[in-house]
Amino acid sequence: MLTVKSKMENPLADLISDDIYQLLNDHGLIDEKSVRDYKIRKKFRTLRTSKISAGDAIDAIREEYPYLQFDTIRKIVYQLSK
């Protein structure tokens, strides 16, 4: 019998393998808010590299995350590492 395992997209593919991500997620060890913030910071850096102003980059990210305020995204992208 063939079992099909559902694969979810690994937003941390540049850091960890899909199998490791799946294992951590299955055990509830992935903090979704931190993953979201990581994706936002990564997208912001990409947009800024392509010569888009910071305000326009934040507005573009707000289109993907409409539930976040402009200032919230600004805090996420300029947050210092702990």
Within 13 A of 47's CA, how many CA atoms are on the CB side? 18
What residues contact residue 80 under an 8 Å CB cut-off, 6+ apart?
Answer: none
Helix (H) or strand (E) holding 12: none
Is pLDDT above 50 for 3?
no
- pTM to 2 decimal places: 0.83
Q: What is the pLDDT of residues 34-52, one digit of tens each?
A: 999 999 999 999 999 999 9
Contacts by 43-48, CB closer than 8 A, 24 or more apart: 44/73, 44/77
Chain Cα centroid distance, residue 66: 14
Q: Determine the pLDDT at residue 1.
A: 47
Q: How far apart are CA 67 and CA 18, in angstroms?
A: 28
User: Using one digit for the tens of pLDDT, what is the confidence trace for 54-73?
Assistant: 999 999 999 999 999 999 99
